């Protein structure tokens, strides 16, 4: 059976899913750009759908990986309005296509007031109301970026602690330099999520709404906060599927 290959190319990782002829999605890859070459484009692909917010260099690597694929490659871009959703930006094209597709994916799954928190390279928060109107959002540094911005400006303090596979813990205090930094970054993220909830309830007066979480840093959230929402790792791909199903 022919499939469509859907690709969400973030600034750090490439996420991909296969869509069957009935429009059902099956997650396939979640890899960094170096790991892409370990995988081969499956044989039965009839078209490739790409949403990318990544650099030119990374986009080139993605296209190199697709070299030899001789069927349609469609790059989806942000629109002012589509699938019942209206973009709030005055310059609609400036809204990242990953954010746009996450909103489209969320609204088409359930037309309800929704806060979308996508914690990857950057942490983005977007609000869409029950009519599909995007109200706006936030862009903040991701947890990994926060840590490296401190290390880069104060390198001497963190000698020997620059490793990338250590993460801080929500609700915990640090008693060493690296633990203070790691816990500080994670708890900044936790605070941002709590503030997004506070703004939804006190500024927007939302009470019947849902919170959707996606992105690589979601495991860092404490359980009490995670339980307030739903983890939807494939939200961008879900939005991309709305486009791919149309054709």
Ligand X SMILES: Nc1ncnc2c1ncn2[C@@H]1O[C@H](COP(=O)(O)OP(=O)(O)O)[C@@H](O)[C@H]1O
Ligand Y SMILES: CC(C)(COP(=O)(O)O)[C@@H](O)C(=O)NCCC(=O)O
Q: What stretch of H or E contains 192? A: helix 177-198
**183, 185, 158, 181: which is closest to 172 by C-alpha?**
183
Q: Which of 157, 166, 219, 230 binds ligand X (CB under 6 A)?
A: 219
Residue 94, contacted partner among ligand Y, ligand X, K ion, none, CB below 5-8 A by kind: ligand Y
Nearer to K ion, 142 or 178 (CB): 142
CA distance 214 to 237: 11
**210, 242, 238: which is closest to 114 by C-alpha?**
210
Q: Which of 114, 117, 120, 200 binds ligand Y (CB under 6 A)?
A: 120
Fill in the per-residue mask, 116 to 155: x = in contact with ligand X (CB under 6 A), - = not in contact: ----xx--------------------xxx-----------
Q: Any known ligand binding at 98? A: yes
CB of 225 to ligand X, least distance (A): 14
Q: Give the interface segment with ligand Y, choosing from 118-126, 147-155, 159-167, 195-203 (CB under 6 A).
A: 118-126
CB of 98 to K ion, least distance (A): 6
Site residues for ligand X, window 156-175 (CB under 6 A)? 167
User: Does the protein bind ligand Y through residue 52 (CB under 6 A)?
Assistant: no
* Backbone torsion region of residue 130, taken as left when φ is above 0, otherwise alpha when ψ lies between -120 and 50, otherwise beta: alpha
Residue 50, class by beta-carbon neighbours within 10 Å (0-12 exposed, 13-18 middle, 19+ buried)? Answer: buried
Instruction: Give the angle subtended at the CA of 245 by the CAs of 241 and 247, to the nearest 5°.
Output: 130
User: Does the protein bind ligand X through residue 178 (CB under 6 A)?
Assistant: no
Contact residues for 63 (Cβ-Cβ < 8 A; gap 6+): none
CB of 246 to ligand Y, least distance (A): 23
Tell me what percent of the chain is helix, strand and coil, each rounded to the nearest 5. Answer: 35, 25, 35
Q: Active-site residue among 20, 98, 179, 224?
A: 98
| HEC assignment per residue over 11-43 | CCEEEEEEECCCCCEEEEEEEECCCHHHCCCCC
**190, 189, 211, 179: which is closest to 121 by C-alpha?**
189
- Residue 98 annotated to the active site: yes
Residues annotated within a binding site for ATP: 8-15, 121
Residues annotated within a binding site: 8-15, 89, 96-99, 118, 121, 177
Which residues form the catalytic set? 98
Q: Which positions lie near ligand Y, rule CB under 6 A?
A: 10-11, 53, 94-96, 98-99, 118, 120-122, 124, 139
Residues annotated within a binding site for substrate: 89, 96-99, 177
Q: Which positions lie near ligand X, rule CB under 6 A?
A: 10-13, 120-121, 142-144, 167, 215-217, 219-220
């Amino acid at each position: 059976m022919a499939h469509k290959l859907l690709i969400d190319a973030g600034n750090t990782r490439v996420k991909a899913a296969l869509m069957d002829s009935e429009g059902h999605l099956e997650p396939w890859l979640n890899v960094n750009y170096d790991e892409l070459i370990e995988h081969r484009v499956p044989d039965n692909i009839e078209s490739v759908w790409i949403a990318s917010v990544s650099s030119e260099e990374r986009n080139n690597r993605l296209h190199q990986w697709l070299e030899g694929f001789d069927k349609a490659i469609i790059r989806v871009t942000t629109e002012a309005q589509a699938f019942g959703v209206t973009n709030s930006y005055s310059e609609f094209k400036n809204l990242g296509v990953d954010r746009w597709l996450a909103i489209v994916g969320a609204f088409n799954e359930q037309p309800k007031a929704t806060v979308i928190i996508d914690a990857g390279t950057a942490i983005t928060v977007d609000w869409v109301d029950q009519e599909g109107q995007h109200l706006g959002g936030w862009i903040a540094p991701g947890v990994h970026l926060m840590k490296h911005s401190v290390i880069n400006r104060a390198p001497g303090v963190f000698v020997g602690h620059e490793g990338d596979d250590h993460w801080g813990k929500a609700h915990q205090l640090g008693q060493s330099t690296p633990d203070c930094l790691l816990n500080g970054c994670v708890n900044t993220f936790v605070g941002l999520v709590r503030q997004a909830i506070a703004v939804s309830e006190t500024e927007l007066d939302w009470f019947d709404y849902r919170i959707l979480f996606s992105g690589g840093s979601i495991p860092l959230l404490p359980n009490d906060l995670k339980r307030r929402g739903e983890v939807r790792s494939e939200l961008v791909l879900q939005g991309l599927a709305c486009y791919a199903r149309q054709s």
